[in-house]
Structure 1
Amino acid sequence: MPRPVRSIAVATAALLALGLTACTAEDDPAPVPTTPVVQLGGPGEPNRTLSPEEAAALEAPGYVEQDVAFVRDMLHHHAQAIQMTGYVDERSNDRDIELLAERMDVSQTDEIRQLERWLQERGEPARDPDASHGEHGSKPMPGILTDDELAQLEAARGEAFDALFLRYMIMHHEGAIQMVAELYASGGGQEPDIDAFARHVESDQAIEIARMRDLLAQRAG
């Protein structure tokens, strides 16, 4: 066979081989995940590795009444935080306080939208239909300011306002973290969306508490 013809034949055979390989790869079914899922056994019973079919049939936990109550309470809690940050512009000349309040306002406004959407998607009203007007729970929410405390904050100006705002907002944030702890202690917080939100609140507000304590210490010094 002349050299040019032989080169063409070799190249053609190579292309055909590649084409067959590609077709074979595309036709193969997607690999089934092989990561084992272990189901914990009861007292005195061994753990059991679920079959792929059993693992695929597992469903994420659904929401419970405690989750709904948590969301409704957190909506009210966030609303008061936004009310507090709304006092800052006309009462503080401290740039650090202004930036902190702006961050809180943006993040908690966004979280309110998330919570409202969560309730709407599950057909749950924003308020408990069985609760009396103005009632948000069977007991006061942790960290919520009283009317007198809000009036005191609203009346303050300058450095007095800055110190009071930091102290009250620290208390408010600590209350939100306590609400998360109470949610898990009550058996709630297992639904993935609620779990993710609650953990975010716990982490984000802990960071802001540390920042506010630092600012408060600077001003006290």
Structure 2
Amino acid sequence: MRMTAMRRSLGVGTVLVLSLGLAACTASAPEPPAPTSPIVQLGAPGEPNQTLSPEEAAELGSPKHVEADEEFMLDMIQHHDQAIVMTGFVDENTDDRDIQLLAERMKVSQEDELKVITRWLQDRFVPVNDGAGHGHDGDAMPGMLTDDELAALEAASGAKFDRLFLESMIRHHQGAVQMVDELYAAGGGNESEVDQFARHVESDQGVEIARMQQMLADRAG
């Protein structure tokens, strides 16, 4: 009985010593040192870089969206809407399978991007405007077709439609790329989500422009 009691006492004492030792190790573990290296902030084109302390860099935080970002997203809704209208003429106006596949890809891509735009606006409580194909300065947005040009595209068929569709959509896509350039020129595109979306538009539409130019050259030949 005495031996059993002694073993129990030793067991409890051992656990207590280990627990105190672990607590002491935990309490005495040093905090990770704060970063002390300076951070270089790249300057805008033509402007020098700036060296920031870690404290200054922390105060900057993530760039916020600006009015130019809102206008870009709102205008892109109208721009994409018209592109979807244009792709809607394809199935009834041409039997060219390559153009039909191209139009279907464009429709899906533009609809997906509209969802991204709508979510971005909703998250920032930006109301959608009721404009009809016009920028916020009252001028027509780059690449947009007039009502008469849309009517002419809808009325065309066969080879004439193919040529007109490719020419119109190339112009329309080039307008979207121009809108991206204007976004950055106006001081927008610094917020990460806007920047990512704008670069996607620029890249995706640039690829499709090259594809359509080749298709147009093939049909002209």
Asked if TM exceeds 0.5, the reply is yes
Measure how far apart 1:121 and its partner are: 0.2
Cα–Cα, structure 1 residues 146 and 48, in superposed 2: closer, same or farther, change >3 Å? closer
Distance 2:73 2:146 in 1: 21
CA RMSD, aligned part only?
2.6
Please name the residue that 2:113 is paired with: 111
SS where residue 123 of structure 1 aligns? coil
Q: Note if 1:76 corresponds to 2:78.
A: yes
Q: Note if 1:38 corresponds to 2:40.
A: yes
Q: Render the CA deviation track for 1:26-47: whole Å, top value 9, x for unaligned.
A: x786786787512469xxxx96
Measure how far apart 1:66 and its partner are: 1.1
Please name the residue that 2:91 is paired with: 89
Distance 1:49 1:134 in 2: 44
Pick the aligned partner of 1:50 from 49, 52, 57: 52
Q: Render the CA deviation track for 1:37-77: whole Å, top value 9, x for unaligned.
A: 12469xxxx96643444433331211111111111111000
Please name the residue that 2:151 is paired with: 151
Distance 1:89 1:77 in 2: 21
Letter in 1 for 2:195: D
The percent identity for this pair of structures is 63
Q: Calculate the TM-score normalised by the size of structure 2.
A: 0.77
Q: Render the CA deviation track for 1:64-114: whole Å, top value 9, x for unaligned.
A: 111111111110000000000011111111111011101100110000011
Cα–Cα, structure 1 residues 30 and 216, in superposed 2: closer, same or farther, change >3 Å? farther
Cα–Cα, structure 1 residues 93 and 51, in superposed 2: closer, same or farther, change >3 Å? same
The runs of 5 or more residues in structure 1 that have no matched partner are 1-19
Matched pairs, number: 191
Q: Render the CA deviation track for 1:169-219: whole Å, top value 9, x for unaligned.
A: 000001111111111111111111111111111111011000000000000
Please name the residue that 1:191 is paired with: 191
Letter in 2 for 1:67: D
Distance 2:87 2:33 in 1: 53
Pick the aligned partner of 1:102 from 101, 104, 111: 104
SS where residue 38 of structure 1 aligns? strand
Distance 2:35 2:95 in 1: 58
The runs of 5 or more residues in structure 2 that have no matched partner are 1-21
Cα–Cα, structure 1 residues 209 and 48, in superposed 2: closer, same or farther, change >3 Å? closer
Letter in 2 for 1:176: A
Q: Calculate the TM-score normalised by the size of structure 1.
A: 0.77
Cα–Cα, structure 1 residues 39 and 178, in superposed 2: closer, same or farther, change >3 Å? closer
Distance 1:81 1:199 in 2: 19
Cα–Cα, structure 1 residues 146 and 36, in superposed 2: closer, same or farther, change >3 Å? same
Distance 1:188 1:195 in 2: 8
Distance 2:150 2:121 in 1: 28
Computing the radius of gyration over CA atoms, which structure comes out larger, 1 or 2? Answer: 2
Please name the residue that 1:4 is paired with: none
Q: How does 1:111-190 map to 2 (within 5 A)?
A: 111-127=113-129, 136-137=135-136, 138-190=138-190
Cα–Cα, structure 1 residues 186 and 101, in superposed 2: closer, same or farther, change >3 Å? same
